Amino acid sequence: MNNNKITIYLLCSPNLGVLDNWLPVLFQIYNNNKNYRFVLLFPNSTIVSSICFDNAINKIADKIFDLIIVQTIPGEWMKFDSLVNSKKWCESNYVITKVFKYIELIKLKYPKVYKLISSLIYLYTIIFRYKNRKKIVHLDKQIYSTDVLLYDVHVRKHGNVSKILFLFSGNYKFSMPHGIGIRLKLDHIVKANNNNNNKLKIYLFSNFFERDYYIKKHGVNDDNLNFFGIPRHDYNWINEIQRQSQILPPGFQNGNTIFIISSPVSACLPMDRKIKSLINIKKVLQEGLGMNLVIKLHPKEAKEGIYEDVFGIKEYGKTWVYSGLHPFALAKGRKLAISLFSGVSFDMLRLGVPCIEYIDLQGIPGFDDIVDKKPITPFARYGLVTSVSNYSELEYHVNRIMKSSNYHESYIKVYKKYFIMDDKSSDKIASNILELIPNKAINQL
């Protein structure tokens, strides 16, 4: 380790949303100050496997981070010189990491069985350590009192993360949410003990949506909370992402293409309702208006064949495509986006792109907001999206939006109602961090 530089660690958990939200801040620090070393921590190799290098943030991250450290099997951390190489290793050793995850489940659920195979597991762990000895690192020997942790306090009680946080117990820690959310229902939240940590700073996106939740859920107070806006929504950062993104195939680059923000099948989006939504999207947009579709899958969503069945596998590349590009790139120049219930709708709001949220929640428990005798999501309740739940509603609102040219200003107005719209958010957070931490490491013995 270079003792002349402080290390800024970014803990990427529970998903790549942490990287997406923190990266514009790190970009500012990296470009304006050379006194820091940057290390990206992945407590779970599954997160590494979900990286898509079509997304510009991963290419930018590879330029910033000096080191990537991944917990590949329980208790074993390995170092890599790039995201590319860390993903290659995780993909080629997928079976090994999967086996160890099953072993952890056996340990929890069937301790007697685990005891019988523990000697075999120990032997294999020794072999694993020897085989990867040049890559194995010991985190407790890497972290010094002047180092800094960036993370999301949301994961503070997760098993792997709590062990890492212990190593930073006396260090400055800075938190930012991994996603933009609406957190207003507090009745089910157990009030946490007061966390009187003056070395914890939490950067939130919305005083209205998040403040009370964080105070109750995480035991913090107003001194811990800071509101500077959403860094990834800075105008210059949006332009940077769009500039560094690849272009879509011919036929999908113009305003004749609609951005579809997908979501995995879940309790609120059952398979049959998802298929019905896609069939109606096809009827209204493709058959009715002759539009092409570009589809971005959710990070936890596998290619299950649903889109192929509905839109036609022979039509792939002609009238519809998948894309791993960042939402900022996919939404550029679009007249409309359709969400199947996703937080990406916040990004559409910032870009001024009309977003229709197509989800039928009739009979689905947990959604108490009722408008026109139908349940809606919190996104729709606060006017962040236009809610539809059937063919006729979809057709009506698509045609209404397509004929309008005044939607941009109204969307920005809604955005400003709930969020700080400051194109210097990244600068301000970076400056706030640098004011609190030293710019040179103390020599360690």
Q: Look-up: residue for tokens 């309790």? A: 267
Q: Rounded to whole angstroms, how far apart are CA atoms 138 and 150?
A: 19
Tokens of 90: 């995780």
Asked if the model's pLDDT at residue 444 lies above 50, the reply is no
Domains of the chain in sequence order: 6-233+422-436 (3.40.50), 247-418 (3.40.50.2000)
Backbone dihedral region for residue 385 (phi beyond 0: left; psi -120 to 50: alpha; all else: beta): beta
Coil/strand/helix, residue 373: coil
pTM over 0.85: yes
Q: Rounded to whole angstroms, how far apart are CA atoms 191 and 167?
A: 25
Q: What is the mean pLDDT of residues 414-424?
A: 93
Which helix (H) or strand (E) segment holds residue 393: the answer is helix 391-403
pLDDT digits (tens, 9 = 90+) for 361-375: 999 988 877 887 889
Q: What is the pLDDT of residue 394?
A: 98
Q: What is the pLDDT of residue 302?
A: 82
DSSP state of 414: H
pLDDT digits (tens, 9 = 90+) for 428-437: 999 999 999 8
Do the beta carbons of residue 346 and residue 318 sit within 8 Å? no
pLDDT digits (tens, 9 = 90+) for 381-415: 999 999 999 999 999 999 999 988 777 888 899 99
Question: For the chain, what is the mean pLDDT?
Answer: 92
Residue type, 342: S
Q: What is the pLDDT of residue 367?
A: 83
Which helix (H) or strand (E) segment holds residue 71: the answer is strand 67-73
Q: Rounded to whole angstroms, how far apart are CA atoms 68 and 441?
A: 20
Distance of CA 417 to the CA centre of its chain: 23
Do the beta carbons of residue 345 and residue 267 sit within 8 Å? no
Residue 86 burial (C-beta neighbours within 10 Å; 0-12, 13-18, 19+): buried
